[in-house]
Amino acid sequence: MLAKRIIPCLDIKNGQTVKGIEFESLKTVGDPVELGKYYSDNGADELVFLDITATHEKRKTLVELVHRIAKEINIPFTVGGGISTIEDAEAILSAGADKISVNSAAINKPELISEIAQKFGRQFIVLAIDAKLENNEWIVYKNGGRIKTELELFSWAKQVERLGCGEILFTSMNHDGTKNGFALEPLKWLAENLNIPVIASGGAGSIKDFENVFSYSNVEAALAASVFHYREIEIRKLKRQLSLHDISVRD
Amino acid sequence: MKVAIIKYNAGNITSVAFALQRLGINPEITDDPELIKSSDKVIFPGVGEASTTMNYLRLKKLNQLIPELKQPVLGICLGMQLMCNYSMEGKTPCIGIFDELIEKFPAKEKVPHVGWNTISNLKGDLFKNIPDNSYVYFVHSYFANESQYSIANSNYIKPFTAAMQKENFYATQFHPERSGKIGVLILKNFIEL
């Protein structure tokens, strides 16, 4: 049976993880490779590395980092942040990443999705969408949530599916950072109306929140950052709880 | 131990090479027929599209070389599919080591099949010490049905072949190089064949 995936997300700036990390066992607290390895040894199903520097000059650092991660980690990982061309995608793929996550660049140039999908396969492209509920409508934002777009979440999601992305990573800006749980309604809609896997992101605060998102909606995966980094939730414990609730997870 | 990874435009070559390095093996990534023939083990990785990849293999005459190999060969993902007769992806005649057809998962369901799924009915040395219902990592939209060659099965939408074997040819639909500790064991088993 296909397991629901638990995905820690690591924010990277200048080659280092940025969110405060409370793992005493790690030698270099800020080293994304060591932290990624820790997670992969402790039950994570997949990792997402988001480069929040993402300026052109820093690209090279990112490619070198991806290479180091690929060398050490034996679970799949996605790399995102500022990927805007086929060349960016190719560099990250050949450095050893399994998938890339694209957000603003796809909004600016939707055909980028089909170009990447055609060249590297649709499994290689995860489309990240940040959206905010405003007057009963989910509005898509770009540039890390700073710029409002004309797009509406559900039609954008259908469009990117048609263009050829392999998965959708949806973050509700209303829920992100609140620790009050995932945005259940839009996630339910996405998981029911798309024929590609959906990853839930934004709002995880407790084990119960993960139980809720998997029982309420048919999302394939749930992503979180701080609850894992601060050890408020341990992935193995989370998975034990989920399996007690008949949610299938990889042990 | 000399291990060759067949070099072509497959996306996961780097990850496969790193996975072997973690096992203490320095693989040769090559499309040189002599080097491939003289290796103790050969790995045929694969991420990409079937028809484009077959064209490339034909150009390099690798489609003739691979079926003639006598040492253990391991096809991974698209590598496995190309070792079959024919793939519905791009309507592509393939290498034909396994007399099997590669079909597409029905479009009404969520495709690609992405994530960790269990494998069962494990047979033979490739799965030595691997418990039934272990989780491994899959990413694919096309599949082979269960057959006489199956040495592991899985189920997504319908039952399908997770691994096959015929003589010295082994192949997995999943990615051992991305399947955590279980994947490491499977690669180690292959190296020790």
d(CA B178, CA B191): 17
In b/e form, how buried is each residue of A140-170, taking b as 16+ CB within 10 angstroms?
A: bbbeeeeeebebebbebbeebbebbbbbbbb
Residue A209 lies in a domain: yes
Query: Contact at 8 Å (CB) between B15 and B178?
Result: yes
Interface check for B128 against chain A (CB to CB < 8 A): the answer is no
For A144-156, the pLDDT digits (tens) are 889 999 999 999 9
Chain mean pLDDT for chain B: 95
d(CA A73, CA B151): 27
> Domain with A206 in it: what CATH number?
3.20.20.70
- A22 falls in which pLDDT band (50, 70, 90)? low
d(CA A71, CA B14): 9
pTM of the model: 0.93
d(CA A89, CA A105): 12
Beta-ladder partners of B104: B142
Residue A249 lies in a domain: no
Q: Does the active-site annotation cover B84?
A: no
CA–CA min distance B68, chain A (Å): 29
> CB within 8 A of B29, min separation 6: which ones?
B4, B5, B7, B13, B17
- B12 falls in which pLDDT band (50, 70, 90)? confident
For A197-251, the pLDDT digits (tens) are 999 999 999 999 999 999 999 999 999 998 998 889 999 999 999 999 999 999 8
d(CA A47, CA B177): 15
For B47-66, the pLDDT digits (tens) are 778 898 899 899 999 999 99
Contacts B140 to A, Cβ<8 Å: 123
Of the candidates A2, A74, A96, the beta carbon closest to that of B115 is on A2
Of the candidates A67, A95, A250, the beta carbon closest to that of B116 is on A250
- A24 falls in which pLDDT band (50, 70, 90)? low
Task: Select from B53, B139, B158 the residue whose CB has the most chain A CBs within 10 Å, as the one to mutate to test that interface.
Answer: B139
pLDDT at A132: 96
Q: Which domain holds residue A181?
A: 5-244
Per CB distance under 8 Å, which residues of A are interface residues toward B? Answer: 1-3, 5, 40, 45, 67, 70-71, 74-76, 93-96, 98, 118, 120-124, 166-167, 194-197, 220-221, 250-251
In b/e form, how buried is each residue of B19-33, taking b as 16+ CB within 10 angstroms?
A: bbeeeebebbbebee
d(CA B90, CA B50): 7
pLDDT at A230: 84
d(CA A228, CA A22): 9
Chain mean pLDDT for chain A: 91
Q: Does the active-site annotation cover B113?
A: no
Residue A144 lies in a domain: yes
For A110-155, the pLDDT digits (tens) are 999 999 998 888 889 999 999 999 999 999 999 988 999 999 999 9
Q: How many distinct structural domains can be found in chain A?
A: 1
- Assess whether pLDDT exceeds 60 at residue A71: yes
Q: Which of A115-124, A183-192, A240-249, B164-173 has the lowest mean pLDDT?
A: A115-124
Backbone angles phi, psi at B11, to 5 degrees: -70, -25
Dihedral angle sign, alpha carbons of residues B115, B117, B122, B128: positive
Domains assigned to chain B = 3-191 (3.40.50.880)
Residue A251 lies in a domain: no
B residues 16..35 contacting A (CB < 8 A):
18-19, 21-22
